[in-house]
Structure 1
Amino acid sequence: MAYIPLCKLRNLIEGEAAPFNLDGREIMLLWPEGGELKAFDGLCPHQHIPFSRGVFNGRYLTCTAHDWVFDGRSGECRQGEECTLDSYPLRVVDGIVEIELA
């Protein structure tokens, strides 16, 4: 599958999150402080609540529905059931963040 343009890199800030809906999929971009930009499934695996309602503190993403907590660097669940968020490949080309939806 091909990479799809998502946003301009300059519109993102390290330590923050940005939700997107792309081709009917909820995507959550996380840029952990001191880490790399990551793209994860934008729905909590617990009850499929959109992470756009969640809280990202620069390292951990918390689903506000039931307080499940995910590591912004790996997508691993730190509080809740053992699971890992699905991730998507990213690249930056000429200042544009592109994502590959598999």
Structure 2
Amino acid sequence: MSAATGQWQEAMRVDDLWEGDMAGVEVAGKKVLLVNVEGDVRAYQNRCPHQAWPLDEGDFDGETLTCGRHLWEFDAESGQGVNPANCRLTSYPCRVTDSGAILVDVG
């Protein structure tokens, strides 16, 4: 996980990212994948570590992200590789404000 730098920027509203949903957004010029895992929002770099394929073009079943290109799988809560297990998604600090804004710090 990337360390927070204090440069929080609004990515979208939590009302627009339902539980079990994912969305590709751009934050400060970086492509970010937001996922809502049982009400907990996570932010990752929107590319598979295998061949940089956009993850928002894959599938998300509420728990597992699957790259649409070569079917690599990742635990959506931690970013840890499931298949193969020796990889990990690059994560960004993410939080939801009391007013419902999803903030991401891409550094």
Structure 1 residue ranges, 4+ long, deviating more than 4 angstroms after superposition: none
SS of residue paired to 2:87: coil
SS of residue paired to 2:102: strand
Contact 2:10–2:27 (CA under 8 A) maintained in structure 1: no
Match among 84, 89, 92 for residue 85 of structure 1: 89
Which aligned pairs between 1:43-62 and structure 2 lie closer than 5 A? Answer: 43-62=47-66
SS of residue paired to 1:58: coil
Q: Which has the higher contact order (CA 8 A, sep 6+)?
A: 2
Alignment TM-score, normalising by the size of structure 2: 0.87
Alignment TM-score, normalising by the size of structure 1: 0.91
- 1:52 deviation in Å? 1.7
> Which stretches in structure 1 are left out of the alignment for 5+ residues?
none
How many residue pairs match? The answer is 101
- 1:17 deviation in Å? 0.7
- 1:89 deviation in Å? 0.8
